[in-house]
Structure 1
């Protein structure tokens, strides 16, 4: 975390020097000091804070749907090989499709700002959750499952007592990856399709003005900062909840 912060400071210092020394024209890249100053000023801008809340709301809503769909589907595909083989072709066909390319289709289908953004977020975020859940289910110790079956436990009992607890760290990793993807798609959908509120909408409004490049970049900085905070919070949550998994993984390495 400290090294990451130092890396950001070094990058900002280099960008500032490049502008001040006129290696890069200020009309192309404003001084980073001006961008950081504008980012601080945005914290007192009620309109921008409303846009941030709008982005976070649709992102959180999309993530709830993603987890509610992706985890059960991943458990199903990961625990039943026959179903996995039947669905593999569909999954491999849909997964490479760029989510941003679906924005026009989502606008037509959803017919609402919230529905369009949620559709794009769920589609993009579903794959990390689905794939990691499937992988976690397939990595369950077969000896542990057979031991429970030998004591007369059925399929659902084995799933609840062994498979799901063992796969949970993998699911958590998938959710963390999906959270970053979902936030990127939330802002991207706002940039492409517009709307009434959102960080992407704020960037669109400011980019249409004169001498507002520093405000555009300041909003982008806040989008990145939010993504960083969300990712670090989920990493810390994983380490706290699954300390046993972290210790076992480090020991294996």
Structure 2
């Protein structure tokens, strides 16, 4: 089943690439404005042996990983608190609903003024954007815990912390990891967008700015392809981890094991 989905996805991607190449070859799109897809793919392959680009990828991934880790450290405990303490959730909900829709990049000017370090700016903006999926999924995961299981433990004399440790957290863990998977994708978008807007000494976004300043649209698109590839790879790795670690949850939900 997974193989079929991958094959269908590959066919769809190939169709888009062929259509883009044909549009350039036939003159529907001016290759000076939008380079041929074959040129972009060749440049993308060449970037794999470009030390400067690989260094930029490393910078982006480092900031992405740190920002995502900070988001996990913030989102999981806060989600546990709001998901288990009803009064805390009621008090915090207006603030959460107010802050959550604010685009993280809209805070970039303020963060830049407060934090002079470029990497610190990226990590802060990533952490803000990525915390919300983790927070919300942790909250809803704890709400989804079977109340019968909790009451059963309470009837045997277990306290709130023991019920949380033995029942609530194991049951909510798949939801938490789903939140991390969504946050990972958000973090990649935000880190590259921040590099594009704020610049800096390195990163995929900075590489795109430099290439664009040199009118190398082909390199901009090639770097964009690798940015998309990073998103696909990170999502696939976390999804594989989720299926391996919580196979029981997928079977209970009727999903694919």
What's the TM-score bracket when you normalise by the shorter of the two chains?
A: over 0.9
Count of residue pairs brought into register by the alignment: 251
Distance 1:109 1:5 in 2: 44
Q: Write the distance in 2 (CA, Å) between the matches of 1:231 and 1:86.
A: 34
Match of 2:31 in 1: 26
Q: Does 1:48 align with 2:43?
A: no
2:82 aligned partner: 77
**1:41-96: CA deviations, max 9, x gaps?**
00110000000000000000001111111000000000111100000000000000
Structure 2 residues without counterparts, runs of 5 or longer: 1-5
RMSD: 1.1
- Deviation track 1:166-189 (CA, whole Å, cap 9, x = no partner) reads 000000000000000001000000
Structural mapping, 1:55-94, within 5 Å = 55-94=60-99
Given candidates 1, 7, 14, the residue that maps to 2:12 is 7
Structure 1 segments unaligned to the other structure (5+ residues): none
Name the SS of the counterpart of 2:253 in structure 1: helix
Alignment of 1:115-126 (within 5 A): 115-126=120-131
What SS does structure 2 have at the residue aligned with 1:250? coil
Distance apart, 1:4 and its partner CA: 1.5
Aligned residue for 2:171?
166
State yes or no: 1:111 paired with 2:119: no
**Equivalent position of 2:144 in the other structure:** 139
2:206 pairs with 1:201: yes
- Equivalent of 1:150, from 155, 158, 166? 155
